[in-house]
Structure 1
């Protein structure tokens, strides 16, 4: 059974986000710093429990805690509690994706959560929130048509390529060996190309990707030579560098079609047309995806309402966890004081104190020690709480202790 660390009652569920929509200028640099960098950043402000989500279009740090003043998270969007939960639920539902309704994001959230869980980096509230996010993401896709049709970036890119240039009988070069590159290869393989070649920096990964796609492989060192052999060149890497320049494209000849779904761009922007050469990059695809979004307005509205319906339930569940945790802490504290007083009682008896006096002293001391922190908290609550809310609370408390002498509530409130 998973054990969870207790959460301080004043801690806030927080998300720090850099994403393609809100912080496009900072996103690539933040992603390139890597998972370990952001782990250390969170630890540096005292965060012990967290989930880090990294995709090609977002870097998000989810945690329970209070965000300290630091320049580490400069330029980010920060959301807390209900707003942070809403954000995660919408991301999981595909509502915040560049390609609305895409399925990959749900898999990525699940993988990020499971990684944190395996490493004991989540507490019970984080687990509740992420499990609910995965559940609502699945429900949205099952109960609406938001994920119908082509929703992944590779599938949309291949559709655009097919419409503008054609694929059947063409020779295709794929630069990259990761998940996105393999996804491109699978989609393009269905369109009957003459050949597919995978090209990467790492020979072993290139060979592995070629095995998955049942195609040829080459080295990135042979890039210019491979460009000359192929009609279609696709890039899907995490390299921060431009791999293909304008001069490279001109030297490679035409007609050719280039597709770049890398973040950041791996193919230089043409800044004008070159006869026989076309380039499709993420900027071009965003226009296509925006059209898809406008066609799914009804589904987006329904999905958004489903998300909102789960937020209140989740907030209520988190309150229950907080209260249960507080009650458990009260019992642990009481047992500790009971043990201390029992030891003191034994010492008094060993010194010859008569048993009635020792019992009376133990009972008085125990009641004072057990009730002292709660008395302080109640007095503080009286100072800051709404009198009507406090009156209801005290009435419930009076009922719970079965009508024992408690004092007049109005006198306690001084109203």
Structure 2
């Protein structure tokens, strides 16, 4: 510890940077609750929830992560009470405590390991997805800005975000699209030189159509959307994307369309052989590509025999998605190896933190003695010393303290990292009256 560090060393009873805390994680995810139940556990007032966990549940730090597939609370305290955490959660969202019986809870190293796997995409519904990394980063930044997370959780989250980024750059865990919509649009991009210059039609307004629309919108591609229910097409266009057109008009203008996505649950053929054959007449120069993403299929399979028409059905896309997913699954062991390597460093860091309150307390106690004896010495010397000489004597006092304490305190930290410090910590605490000071 440097001279400046001795001067600025904080009290172990008030500084979160040295307090030996324990981390707990409570979560409800897609693994243990369907989406419609998951929504009930969501915090409507995220700011108020943070405050409640700190002020009412007795935690010192808190980070809340909410996505469409999970709600998780990471909290840190010297003596974490998981029961109070769940009670406060239940109170905040207005659910009976019995509904929290299946909430997953992890503690200490297990909680940190879960966070590492989470940021690496190993705990996601779609293995290796990138979105979770940004969601975790925004969650911890929100907690920091509100002063709900300080040194302990910040350090753990920084490590987790670092390993999450490293996993994605060092492995193939996020390579290859595993979304039906993304794969379909990618295939269309490969087939046409420039999607933005094409006339595109989306038939359908359900969930599958919404996913396609979002991918197209993200790539700034314009498209028309149609449905047999005109009001649904208008509502879809307003909330998701696309230009709504009446269904009958859509069928009439097929001859001008280059790319069609059908994503409906209609129990009959929307695009028949005759309709597409007629659309390809009249000296049409460019071909047409059709994606049948409907279940059941809504495009006549004979359409594929028409010259200039490329038909891709759900089975073909699912095969590509499966291939990409299998490729990602092969990367899991490599990702876990990187996480384990990072966890070794985190383990040492967490063990070392147990010694910091004692180390800082010892330095502060000894520095109090140094300051007292320095004042005595300077008073005795009186005017015999000038400003320069006084400064040299003061620096000497700092150097003596640091020279005497640095080696034993660093050894205490080292022994703590090796996990063999319990008895030694007790001896040091007793020698320097640390326990007595803590109780005052």
Q: Which residue of the partner structure matches residue 64 of structure 1?
A: 76
The answer on 1:316 being equivalent to 2:348 is: yes
Distance across 1 between alignment mates of 2:124 and 2:319: 14
Distance across 2 between alignment mates of 1:225 and 1:64: 60
Matched-pair contact (CA < 8 Å) for 2:122–2:128: yes
Shift, 1:84, TM fit: 0.6
The match for 2:153 among 126, 132, 151 is: 126
Q: Which residue of the partner structure matches residue 371 of structure 1?
A: none
**Is the deviation greater in 82-91 or in 150-159?**
150-159
Q: How does 1:141-156 map to 2 (within 5 A)?
A: 141-151=168-178, 155-156=182-183
RMSD (CA atoms): 5.2
What do the CA deviations read for 1:158-190 (whole angstroms, capped 9, x no partner)?
Answer: 569999xxx9754127979x999644523593x
Shift, 1:251, TM fit: 11
Higher RCO (C-alpha 8 Å, min separation 6): 2
CA distance 1:393–1:47, shift in 2 (3 Å) = closer
The match for 2:360 among 328, 339, 354 is: 328
CA distance 1:394–1:51, shift in 2 (3 Å) = closer
Matched-pair contact (CA < 8 Å) for 1:82–1:315: yes
Matched-pair contact (CA < 8 Å) for 1:14–1:63: yes
CA distance 1:94–1:123, shift in 2 (3 Å) = same
CA distance 1:332–1:62, shift in 2 (3 Å) = same
What do the CA deviations read for 1:228-275 (whole angstroms, capped 9, x no partner)?
Answer: 9996577xxxxxxxxx9x7xx57996679897xxxxxxxxxx9x8486
The answer on 1:171 being equivalent to 2:182 is: no
CA distance 1:392–1:74, shift in 2 (3 Å) = closer
The answer on 1:42 being equivalent to 2:71 is: no
Distance across 2 between alignment mates of 1:312 and 1:179: 40
CA distance 1:392–1:325, shift in 2 (3 Å) = closer
What do the CA deviations read for 1:380-406 (whole angstroms, capped 9, x no partner)?
Answer: xxxxxxxx96666689899x99xxxxx
The answer on 1:19 being equivalent to 2:6 is: no
Secondary structure of 2:63 counterpart: strand
The answer on 1:83 being equivalent to 2:102 is: no
Distance across 1 between alignment mates of 2:212 and 2:103: 26
CA distance 1:130–1:390, shift in 2 (3 Å) = closer
The answer on 1:107 being equivalent to 2:134 is: yes
The answer on 1:195 being equivalent to 2:224 is: yes
Q: How does 1:353-368 map to 2 (within 5 A)?
A: none
Secondary structure of 1:308 counterpart: helix
Q: Which residue of the partner structure matches residue 4 of structure 2?
A: none
Matched-pair contact (CA < 8 Å) for 2:184–2:291: no
TM-score by length of 1: 0.55
Distance across 2 between alignment mates of 1:122 and 1:92: 18
TM-score by length of 2: 0.52
Q: How does 1:11-410 map to 2 (within 5 A)?
A: 11-24=21-34, 28-30=38-40, 32-34=42-44, 36=46, 38-39=49-50, 42-43=53-54, 44-65=56-77, 66=80, 67-69=82-84, 70=87, 71=97, 73-151=100-178, 155-156=182-183, 158=185, 169-172=199-202, 182-186=214-218, 189=221, 195=224, 232=261, 273=296, 292-329=324-361
Matched-pair contact (CA < 8 Å) for 2:178–2:322: no
Secondary structure of 2:112 counterpart: helix
Secondary structure of 2:138 counterpart: helix
Shift, 1:22, TM fit: 3.5
Distance across 1 between alignment mates of 2:180 and 2:25: 25
Secondary structure of 1:95 counterpart: coil
Matched-pair contact (CA < 8 Å) for 2:174–2:328: no
Q: Which residue of the partner structure matches residue 6 of structure 1?
A: 16
Matched-pair contact (CA < 8 Å) for 2:64–2:72: yes
Q: Which residue of the partner structure matches residue 383 of structure 2?
A: none
Secondary structure of 1:94 counterpart: coil
Distance across 2 between alignment mates of 1:291 and 1:224: 35
Distance across 1 between alignment mates of 2:37 and 2:212: 18
Shift, 1:52, TM fit: 1.2
What do the CA deviations read for 1:135-176 (whole angstroms, capped 9, x no partner)?
Answer: 10111111112222225675257569999xxx9754127979
CA distance 1:49–1:27, shift in 2 (3 Å) = farther
Matched-pair contact (CA < 8 Å) for 1:14–1:84: yes
Distance across 2 between alignment mates of 1:94 and 1:78: 19
